[in-house]
């Protein structure tokens, strides 16, 4: 992915994205979608 620094920056960007999902395949929201949207997964800003 271009080195440790680029990968770390990408990972931080990824985990700090808004929790959105599309229930297209199911046709309705399943509990895993709701639970993931409620987590505070992206609260960490660095891995140091």
Tell me the pLDDT tens digit for each residue of 15-34. Answer: 788 777 788 888 898 888 88
Supply the pLDDT for residue 5.
93
With cut-offs at 50, 70 and 90, classify the pLDDT of residue 11: confident
Residue 47 in contact with residue 9, Cβ under 8 Å?
A: no
Please list the alpha-helical segments (H only) found in the chain: 4-15, 31-38
Q: What is the dihedral of CA 5, 7, 9, 15, to 10 degrees?
A: -150
Q: Is the dihedral of CA 25, 17, 1, 4 positive or negative?
A: negative
Percent pLDDT > 90 in the chain is: 15
Two structure tokens written together for 5: 């620094």
Assess whether pLDDT exceeds 70 at residue 35.
Answer: yes
User: CB of 44 within 8 A of CB of 16?
Assistant: no
pTM: 0.47
């Amino acid at each position: 992915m271009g080195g440790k620094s680029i990968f770390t920056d990408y990972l931080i960007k990824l985990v700090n994205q808004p929790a959105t999902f599309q229930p297209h395949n199911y046709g309705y929201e399943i509990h895993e979608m709701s639970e993931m949207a409620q987590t505070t997964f992206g609260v960490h800003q660095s891995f140091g």
